[in-house]
Amino acid sequence: MTLSDLSALLPLIILVFGIVIIMLVQTVWRNHKLTLILSVLTFVISTAFLTVSFFAESKQVTSLLIFDNYAIFYMAILFGAALAVCFLTYGFMEGRNNIKEEFYIFMLIAALGCGVIVASNHLISFFLGLEVLSVSLYVLIAYLRAGPMDIEAGIKYLVLAAVSVSFLLLGAAFVYAYCGTMKFSAMNFSALTPSIGKSSLLLAGVIMIIIGIGFKLAVVPFHLWTPDVYQGAPAPVTAFIATASKGAVFALLLRYFISTNIFDYRPLFILFIVLSIVTMFFGNLLAIMQNNVKRILAYSSIAHMGYLLAALLAGGRWAIIAVTIYLLTYFITTLGAFGIITILSGKERDFDRLDEYRGLAFRHPVLAIVFSGFLLSLAGIPLTAGFIGKFYIFTANASSGLWILLIAVAINSFIGLYYYLRIIATLYSHIQEPQTVSFESRLMPSFSYAGGLVLILLVFLLVFIGVYPSPFLKIISGIVSSLI
């Protein structure tokens, strides 16, 4: 380990020191606002030191981690998402009887796991990062312990995550038995043939690894945990799971696909096409039947993973650009949507029933307009960030000749538009039964200036990227060379 390696690792090291400092401060003085400030400072300093990693001479730190432009870009996005969740959490947790300070510690640990995942180019570092992320999510999902749904969501995630990790470890063992190493670059599918032989060991290992990753991404048929966990977890935690947790794993999946040339192996390629199409249709069709906003967004997130798989299968330069811009826009819109739910949530439970949103435009017109903007962005309507993401998925599929995926994305975009418009129509509907809306929900009990600032920034990015995406596209184009 050289000084150059340490300078590349500084963002992650700062996160670790921040976690330790907050724990030590809490032994002396428990204060919610102080803990938030220390957490924010940790994220800000860690993100600032990504510039040191960018200019560090050593990009490859041991054989486990690589701090190239790709990893640094995704770390900046993930740390920003975690920071936004911390701001939203402050108003959400204020006034509750729960111990609040540990929440931010686990959020920092989860962000650390995400950072390790996106910098991984080795199965061992991927496993370590995934476990750091998963263990912190076990706690965050059931953190409030306010009702049976909280505990149920935590247990479901714990059990299914343990099963998925078992597949991942067994797959890694098979890969090691075939390759003698767990580095991504050693798993070359270019020379692999469909015939059964020694290469089947590598194939079986990769399939098991993909099953483990499929759980984290909630692609069909590994999606069953998603609606229950989204509904049972606190709204800020749901926002983190839907964005940073899935985004980190998908960024790793993109690096894995590019490094192993998995696109050259036709049977696996066809399998992923089927998975992408089934995930899109399954997520969108089930979302139509839901009457809970968090469950609608849960099934919506499943469909969005299908869209991302469609972009990923384009391969090469277009895949990297399409996946990255789509993840960026998805982060902005999803954080915003769950941010609205967070602000409206009461002290007893989350504000997530669809009928509770009826007439929101007449009680909180600004919030209704902002929520409508985020929903329209998720649907991919022009002049929003989501439209730019969908446009690049279409472009990637068209440039690669994947017309079946392009048609599937187009059809599912229309299906998704229905349930997004259904929520928007509810926002602007007149209240027929005023008693169904609690007095507490009218007062925005979880509002804080920190959360409001986050929403303002997200709305700005939503419109700015939708109208003038060039600066972000230039940055994203610059990271392509890191993988190709």
| pLDDT, tens digit (0-9, with 9 covering 90-100), for 127-185 | 999 999 999 999 899 888 776 777 888 888 888 888 888 898 898 888 888 878 788 87
Q: Which range, of 33-37, 67-71, 143-147, 402-406, averages the lowest pLDDT?
A: 143-147
Average pLDDT in the chain: 85
- Judge whether residue 198 has pLDDT over 70: no
Give the residue with greater pLDDT, 113 vs 63: 113
146-158 in b/e form (b: 16+ CB < 10 A) is beebbebbbebbb
Q: What pLDDT sits at residue 241?
A: 92
Tokens 């869209």 appear where? 307
- Percent of the chain exceeding pLDDT 90 equals 38
> Strands 65-66, 60-61: parallel, antiparallel or unpaired by DSSP?
antiparallel
**pLDDT-derived band of residue 431, with 50, 70 and 90 as boundaries?**
low
- At 390-415, the pLDDT tens digits run 999 999 889 888 889 999 999 999 99
One-letter amino acid identity for 70? Y
Q: How confident is the model at residue 31 (pLDDT cuts 50, 70, 90)?
A: confident
Distance CA(318)–CA(67), nearest Å, equals 22
Name the more confident of 360 and 191.
360
Given a contact cutoff of 8 angstroms between Cβ atoms, the answer to whether 415 and 52 are in contact is: no
Residue extents of the structural domains in the chain:
3-483
Query: Distance between CA 119 and CA 70 in Å, rounded?
Result: 8
* Two structure tokens written together for 289: 């039947």
Under DSSP, the state recorded for 356 is G
- Contact between 445 and 346 (Cβ < 8 Å): yes
> How many Cα atoms are found within 13 Å in the side-chain-facing hemisphere of 203?
18
CA angle 235, 464, 87 (to 5 degrees): 30
> How large is the average pLDDT for residues 329-356?
86
Q: What is the pLDDT of residues 99-129, one digit of tens each?
A: 788 889 999 999 999 999 999 988 899 999 9
Q: Is the pLDDT of residue 192 over 60?
A: no
Task: Give the confidence band of 442 by pLDDT, cuts at 50, 70, 90.
Answer: very low
What percent of the chain lies above the pLDDT cut of 70? 92
In 3-state terms, what secondary structure has residue 324? helix
Q: Given a cut of 70, is residue 435 above it in pLDDT?
A: no
Q: Report, as an integer, the average pLDDT of 268-277.
A: 89
Contact 388, 469 (CB under 8 A): yes
194 pLDDT more than 60: no
Per-residue pLDDT for 196 more than 50?
A: no
The pLDDT value recorded for residue 161 is 86
| Mean pLDDT of the region 294-323 | 90
Residue pair 288/415 in contact (Cβ under 8 Å)? The answer is: yes
Which of 21-35, 178-192, 215-229, 299-313 has the lowest average pLDDT?
A: 178-192
What the block records as the tokens of 478 is 């610059």
Q: Which residue has the higher pLDDT, 293 or 483?
A: 293
